[in-house]
Structure 1
Amino acid sequence: MRMEDYDLLVQLHQCGTIRSTAKKILLSQPAITQRLKYIEEEWGGEIFVRTSKKLWVTPFGELILSSAREMLQKEEELRTKLAMAEGRVSGTLSIGASSLYSQHFLPEMLQSFTKAYPDVTIDLVTGISSEIRASAYSHQLSIIRGEPIPGFDSIHLFNDPLYVLDVFPLPPLSERPFIEFKTDPDFSRLLERWRHNHQELTHKPTIKVDHFETAKQLMKHGLGMTVLPGSISHKERAAYASLPLVDHEGKAVVRETWACVKPEVRMLPQVNAFLQHLKERSGDDEPPGRAAD
């Protein structure tokens, strides 16, 4: 079986449906169905049970998938060793990154990196920091906000101060609804500690939304106040009332951003090159440039 076939089986398992796999690898559904039929005929058994909602792996298929993952990993390890022997930076760079960092900073970072190292293939997964933290062992490099990951080599990228914003003058904080957006538990705890120091906020009506951009738009339309990271609120802080969040000692409340890498993969050329790229473009105290709002 070809390496492309092993990769297809892994993609089918990860995506869960032929339709989702077709979108991801840019092949037609009939072409994928035909290739899967050929693979199953070659091995003499059913790898997936097809339903209208999902592909379910059979016990026979689990054995094939295990072998497929092993073969793909061995091929990647060989390519990396060959690249190291030749002094080239190539191979696959597997990154898990927080949604905020992925939306506002990572595209430009990856653009400049892949321009400098065109032989590197990027494998990217995004999500809220708690999700990336939970799946950190599935990636070579994890970019998260909050606390670094224990047991990983962690590089501090920047501090991100938090601000409360409203269309009406601040303070007071007691007369307006509070708009929260879905985030990871670490940010929620940070926010709760700040709110604890402002008892007037404890019993205020709360609007809960799915994304910080939604909270931003509701705030702009006068529906309440919200707290946003400074890196994504440059224009809003210039146009609306804002106050920096401070703790009970009067110190600024900030969200830290970290690049966390497994020690055993840090020596890989593509990982080391990307870490250097991050360091060069990330200040230790400020976000890397002004985010596009």
Structure 2
Amino acid sequence: MRMDDYELLIRLNEIGTIRGTAKAVLISQPAVTQRLKYMEEYFGEAIFIRTSKRLLPTPAGEIVIQHAKQVIHQEKVLKNRLAETGEEIQGTLAIACSTLISQRFLPSILGEFTAKYPKVAIDLVTGISEDIRRNHKKYHICIIRGEKLKESTSVHLFDDPLYMFDTEPFPSNHAKERPLISFKSDDSMHELVDNWLYHHQEFIKPEKTLTVDQIETCKQFMKQGIGMAVLPESVSDHLKEEYPHIALKINGKAVTRDTWVCYQEGIRKLPQVDHFLELLQNTTF
């Protein structure tokens, strides 16, 4: 069994369909089916039951899948140990990163890092910070928004002030009543906005709230005049010259989203982790 066979097996279990897995790993459906057939012949057991909705692991399949996870984990442990002893920086760097940071800042940072350390394999997962917090022990480094991870070493990267944008002006003599467009984020972001709205309910009264999946969709809806949108400065600075906006403040203090890099104690012994953290902390955001 090859390592990529074990990885494919885990993806099949996670995604649940051959079609979805083929799309995720960028190979054809017949190729996925053929490799699954090979693995079942190799172990002499059916690994999945095919239902109309998804693949369900058999009892034997659950044992094989657990074995696959252990093999992959041990492979990573071995590569990291070799990376510690070798002169050349190599091994795997597992990063979980907030979607906003991964879109706005991470490409250039990873581009610089991989150019300098081409033998380091990057294992990157992106998503909302709330999900990353729940699974933070799976990764070497977590880059999250909002509250820091209390059980980890957390280094503050930057503050990100929030602004409310609209295509219509913000009046000073009466309340503004418009739909509010929000994007999928963790609870801490929504709490910041709700708290600010509570303190400014005499001036801002959302008629209704529209929720979209991505921050870019939120921006485009605002640009089309559908409603107001609260956006972090890091992704909206270029909008200030074109659209009416106000800074979110409470008692004169800016409402901001903190960004943190978090990691477990001792993880900097891995050279690839230490060098990436050094690059990250020297980056101007």
1:222 pairs with 2:253: no
Quick check: 166-175 or 61-70, which moved more? 166-175
Quick check: 226-235 or 193-202, which moved more? 193-202
Corresponding residue number in structure 2 for 1:25: 25
Corresponding residue number in structure 2 for 1:291: none
Once residues 52 and 9 of structure 1 are traced to their aligned partners in structure 2, the CA distance between those partners, rounded to angstroms, is 19
Query: Structure 2: which amino acid aligns with 1:40?
Result: E
- What secondary structure does 1:156 align onto? strand
Once residues 115 and 161 of structure 1 are traced to their aligned partners in structure 2, the CA distance between those partners, rounded to angstroms, is 32
Once residues 201 and 180 of structure 1 are traced to their aligned partners in structure 2, the CA distance between those partners, rounded to angstroms, is 17
Contact 2:146 2:258 in 1 (8 A): yes
Once residues 15 and 91 of structure 1 are traced to their aligned partners in structure 2, the CA distance between those partners, rounded to angstroms, is 27
Corresponding residue number in structure 1 for 2:129: 129
- Residue 230 of structure 1 deviates from its aligned partner by 0.6
Structure 1 residues 57, 264: CA separation in 2 closer, same or farther (over 3 Å shift)?
farther
Alignment map for 1:182-197 (pairs within 5 Å): 182-197=184-199
- What secondary structure does 1:87 align onto? coil
Percent identity for Structure 1 against Structure 2: 45
- Residue 255 of structure 1 deviates from its aligned partner by 0.5
> Could you list the runs of 5+ residues in structure 2 that have no partner in the other structure?
none
Q: Deviation per CA, 1:45-83, whole angstroms, max 9, x where unpaired?
A: 111112343221111111111111111211221122122
Structure 1 residues 25, 176: CA separation in 2 closer, same or farther (over 3 Å shift)?
same
1:48 pairs with 2:48: yes
Query: Structure 2: which amino acid aligns with 1:276?
Result: E
TM value normalised by structure 2: 0.92
Once residues 54 and 166 of structure 1 are traced to their aligned partners in structure 2, the CA distance between those partners, rounded to angstroms, is 44
Query: Structure 1: which amino acid aligns with 2:199?
Result: N
Once residues 10 and 75 of structure 1 are traced to their aligned partners in structure 2, the CA distance between those partners, rounded to angstroms, is 15
Corresponding residue number in structure 2 for 1:231: 234
Corresponding residue number in structure 2 for 1:285: none
Q: Deviation per CA, 1:149-170, whole angstroms, max 9, x where unpaired?
A: 1201111111101111222333
Quick check: 210-219 or 155-164, which moved more? 210-219
- Residue 18 of structure 1 deviates from its aligned partner by 1.8
Query: Structure 2: which amino acid aligns with 1:258?
Result: W
Once residues 32 and 220 of structure 2 are traced to their aligned partners in structure 1, the CA distance between those partners, rounded to angstroms, is 41
Q: Deviation per CA, 1:70-129, whole angstroms, max 9, x where unpaired?
A: 112112211221222112221221111111111111112211111111111111221122
Contact 1:179 1:215 in 2 (8 A): no
Quick check: 81-90 or 143-152, which moved more? 81-90
Once residues 248 and 233 of structure 2 are traced to their aligned partners in structure 1, the CA distance between those partners, rounded to angstroms, is 10
Alignment counterpart, residue 247 of structure 1, candidates 232, 245, 250: 250
Once residues 239 and 177 of structure 2 are traced to their aligned partners in structure 1, the CA distance between those partners, rounded to angstroms, is 18
- What secondary structure does 1:266 align onto? helix
- Residue 171 of structure 1 deviates from its aligned partner by 3.9
Once residues 215 and 251 of structure 1 are traced to their aligned partners in structure 2, the CA distance between those partners, rounded to angstroms, is 25
Once residues 269 and 187 of structure 1 are traced to their aligned partners in structure 2, the CA distance between those partners, rounded to angstroms, is 34
Corresponding residue number in structure 1 for 2:37: 37
Structure 1 residues 200, 223: CA separation in 2 closer, same or farther (over 3 Å shift)?
farther
Once residues 159 and 118 of structure 1 are traced to their aligned partners in structure 2, the CA distance between those partners, rounded to angstroms, is 31
Quick check: 140-149 or 213-222, which moved more? 213-222
TM value normalised by structure 1: 0.89
